Amino acid sequence: MPVVPVTDSNLQKAASIIREGGLVAFPTETVYGLGADAWNPEACARIFEVKNRPFFDPLILHLAEYEMVFELCSQVDPRADRLMKKFWPGPLTVVLPKVEKVPDIVTAGLPTVAVRIPAHAAARELIRLAKTPIAAPSANPFGRLSPTTAKHVEDQIGENVDLILDGGPCEVGVESTIVAFIEDKPYLLRPGGIPLEEIEKEIGPVEIMKSSQRSPLSPGLLSRHYSPRTPFIILSGDLPKIDPGKKIGFLAFQKPPKSGLFQTVEILSPSGDLREAAVNLFACLHRLDNANLDIIYAEPVPEEGLGRAIMDRLRKAAGKG
Q: Which residues bind ligand TXA (CB under 6 A)?
A: 28, 30-31, 33, 57-60, 91, 93, 95, 107, 110, 112-114, 118, 136-138, 175-176, 178, 180, 189, 217-218, 220-221
- Which CB, 112 or 138, lies closer to Mg ion? 138
Contact 162, 22 (CB under 8 A): yes
Contact string 121-150 vs Mg ion (x = CB under 5 A): -----------------x------------
- Which CB, 221 or 301, lies closer to Mg ion? 221
43 touches, from ligand TXA, Mg ion, none (C-beta below 5 to 8 Å by class):
none
- Which CB, 37 or 299, lies closer to ligand TXA? 37
Closest separation in Å from C-beta 122 to ligand TXA: 13
How is 281-319 classified by DSSP, letter by letter? HHHHHHHHHTS--SEEEE----SSTTHHHHHHHHHHHTT
Closest separation in Å from C-beta 139 to ligand TXA: 7
Contact 152, 286 (CB under 8 A): yes
For residue 50, what are the CA distances in angstroms to 38, 56, 114, 160?
16, 15, 21, 6
- Which CB, 95 or 126, lies closer to ligand TXA? 95
Closest separation in Å from C-beta 62 to ligand TXA: 6
Helix (H) or strand (E) holding 234: strand 232-234
- Which CB, 133 or 137, lies closer to ligand TXA? 137
57 touches, from ligand TXA, Mg ion, none (C-beta below 5 to 8 Å by class):
ligand TXA
Contact 266, 228 (CB under 8 A): no
Contact 118, 89 (CB under 8 A): yes
- Which CB, 177 or 297, lies closer to ligand TXA? 177
Q: Cβ neighbours of residue 125 under 8 Å, at least 6 residues apart?
A: 11, 64
196 touches, from Mg ion, ligand TXA, none (C-beta below 5 to 8 Å by class):
none
Give how many residues touch Mg ion by CB under 5 A.
Answer: 1
Closest separation in Å from C-beta 137 to Mg ion: 5
Task: List Cβ<8 Å contacts ≥24 apart for 251-259.
Answer: 251/284, 251/285, 251/288, 251/296, 251/297, 251/298, 251/299, 251/314, 252/299, 253/277, 253/299, 253/300, 253/301, 257/299
- Which CB, 14 or 174, lies closer to Mg ion? 174
Closest separation in Å from C-beta 300 to ligand TXA: 22
Interaction between residue 30 and Mg ion (CB under 5 A): no
Closest separation in Å from C-beta 237 to ligand TXA: 32
Residue nearest to ligand TXA (CB): 220
Q: Cβ neighbours of residue 69 under 8 Å, at least 6 residues apart?
A: 63, 76, 84, 96, 115
Helices (H), 181-270: 196-203
147 touches, from Mg ion, ligand TXA, none (C-beta below 5 to 8 Å by class):
none
Closest separation in Å from C-beta 83 to Mg ion: 21
The single-letter DSSP state of residue 138 is B
Sign of CA dihedral 59, 65, 66, 69: negative
Interface residues with Mg ion (CB under 5 A)?
Answer: 138
